[in-house]
Structures are given as C-alpha cells and as structure tokens.
Amino acid sequence: MSSPLWPAHTLGDPRNPPLVLLHGFMGCGADFLPIAAALQDDFFCLLPDLPGHGENTARDWDSPLSFPRLAEEFSRLLTAFGISSCALGGYSLGGRIALYLAHRLPRRVEALILESASPGLEGEPERRTRLETDRRRAALMARIGMAAFLERWYAMPLFASLRAHPEALKRITAERARNDPRWMGKVIVELSPAVQPPLWEALPAISQPALLIAGAQDAKYAALMPRMAARMPRARLVTVAGAGHNVHLEQPQTCIRLLRDWLRARIP
C-alpha cells in the first residue's frame, strides 16, 4: 500500500492508531523499518519518503519545495490512507518538518515525537550564514558526487558517535550514496533551517503531548532540546546515554521502548 504523493512503507493493521515517522536528510522511509517492525502490533506505521528522497523524485523539478507545500502534501498523504489524525515523529530534518506540521496542522497531529530536531534559527544573521553554507554544500555535492560528499558529511563532529558503529555507518553511507545529488542539493537549500519558518516563539502554543529525544553525545542537540522542552507545555525530554545525533540507529532498543511506552500512555 502506498500513496501516489509520498511513496511509503506501511507496517501493522490500518485499524490500529496511526504513527507516521519522517526520516532525516538523505535518508528514506525505510530507515525507520526496524523501529516500526517492533511497534506494528500496536500501531499502523506509515514511513513515507520525503520529497527528493528515496522513491519520491517523480515530481516537478521546477516546483520549489517549501514548508507550506510540505504541509499540504502531508495532509493529502493522510487523506489517501483514510487517516484523520496521527502520532507524528521525525528525526533531524524530519523532526523539523514534524514540528512545523504540528504547529500548522494541529488537528492532524495528536502527539509529537522529535528526535534531534530544532525549531529553526532565531536570528537573521544566523539564517544568512546557514543559507550560504547550505548553498556551498549543494554546489559541492553537484561537483564531487554523493559518495565523496558523504565522506565529508559524516566526518562532521555532529556524527562523531557513529564512528562507534562502523557497520551501520558503512550501510547507511552506501544507501545514501544512491541519492540524486541534484535532488539533495535542492533539498538542502530549499528546506534549510535558514528558510524554515522559525518556531521558537510558537513553542508555547504546541499543545500536543510531545516526546523530545536527544543523544547525550550530541553536544549541540543535548543543549538545544532542553530549551525547546522548557517552552512546550506538554513536553517530556529524554536524553539517551551512549547515543549521538542518530539515536534510533545507535540505540534502537532504547528508542523502541521509549516510543512504545510513551505512545501507549497517550494514544488509546
């Protein structure tokens, strides 16, 4: 079963409460298959490929990506599966999108899970600097190709903890190398935190129950996500030991337990 708009993996009985999980930059819906496989007895898990990723490239190249457009397409995705509202989770880029969707479409999102995610950049100088950086990254991808770009990408301090998981790092690097560098360049610029509507001021209005997950070895997000949680009225923050930016990959059993227990307590 798949949506004509966002190709998606599905696991579980469609009569169960729906859980939608959004992957990170350069990933695909299949990234969450191990997590969804453990949750499928309780939830109907929907794992879409975000625009430009995986199988979601049969779309108009000239039509710009934007967060409002993602909201429209996400709403159509739920409608295609007969879902009125869902628990929505996202990792990194997927988490930024999930937070925006919870703000923009509150009736569609009844519970929110954010892993290593940000509400955006607070200041205009910071946004200008980040946009320049992401434009350079897009140009670099186009020039050297995905495989060489990925070597540099995963050498960043943000992903240092992945080096403790060499087989997993090798696998995801090979998977992400199959991406089209043109699409990845488009995504990194047009869905950059620099152009994301900043949501710091909107956090107090996010009324859904929210689970925020950060890796203890991810210095940036282990510091940022407590600030988010403090502003969200129904947020619970969990910092996972032994994990960095990619918690669900580095500590999958911990992530599964967190999601199962938290969702069971909030979704009938």
- For the stretch 87-96, pLDDT in tens is 999 999 999 9
Question: Which pLDDT value is given to residue 193?
Answer: 96
Q: How far apart are the first and last CA of the chain?
A: 24
How many residues does the structure list for the chain?
268
Per-residue pLDDT, averaged over 18-38, amounts to 98
State the DSSP code for 122. Answer: -
pLDDT digits (tens, 9 = 90+) for 220-257: 999 999 999 999 999 999 999 999 999 999 999 999 99
Residue closest to 176 by CA, chosen among 72, 92, 77: 92
Question: Which pLDDT value is given to residue 2?
Answer: 42
Per-residue pLDDT, averaged over 60-78, amounts to 94
Mean of per-residue pLDDT scores for the chain:
95
208: which 2 tokens? Answer: 């859904």
268: which 2 tokens? Answer: 């009938």
Angle between helix 67-80 and 93-104 (nearest 10): 80
Q: How far apart are CA 97 and CA 94, in angstroms?
A: 5
With residue 226 as reference, give the H or E element that holds it: helix 219-231
Would the pLDDT of 263 be above 90? yes
Q: How far apart are CA 116 and CA 91, in angstroms?
A: 6
Task: Tell me, rounded to whole angstroms, the distance of Cα 157 from its chain centroid.
Answer: 19
110: which 2 tokens? Answer: 């009844």
Residues 8-121+196-266: name the CATH superfamily.
Answer: Alpha/Beta hydrolase fold, catalytic domain (3.40.50.1820)
Cβ-contact 71, 35 below 8 angstroms: no
Question: Which pLDDT value is given to residue 5?
Answer: 82
Q: How far apart are CA 220 and CA 234, in angstroms?
A: 23
Cβ-contact 149, 136 below 8 angstroms: no
State the DSSP code for 50. Answer: P
pLDDT digits (tens, 9 = 90+) for 112-151: 999 999 999 989 999 999 999 999 999 999 999 999 999 9
14: which 2 tokens? Answer: 């469609």
Question: Which pLDDT value is given to residue 268?
Answer: 64
Cβ-contact 80, 7 below 8 angstroms: no
pTM score of the predicted model: 0.96
Question: Which pLDDT value is given to residue 1?
Answer: 39
Would the pLDDT of 171 be above 60? yes
131-135, 166-170, 263-267, range with the lowest pLDDT: 263-267
Q: How far apart are CA 259 and CA 219, in angstroms?
A: 22
Question: Which pLDDT value is given to residue 267?
Answer: 75
Q: How far apart are CA 60 and CA 231, in angstroms?
A: 38
Q: What sign for the dihedral angle of Cα 157, 132, 27, 113?
A: positive
Question: Which pLDDT value is given to residue 199?
Answer: 96
Would the pLDDT of 4 be above 60? no
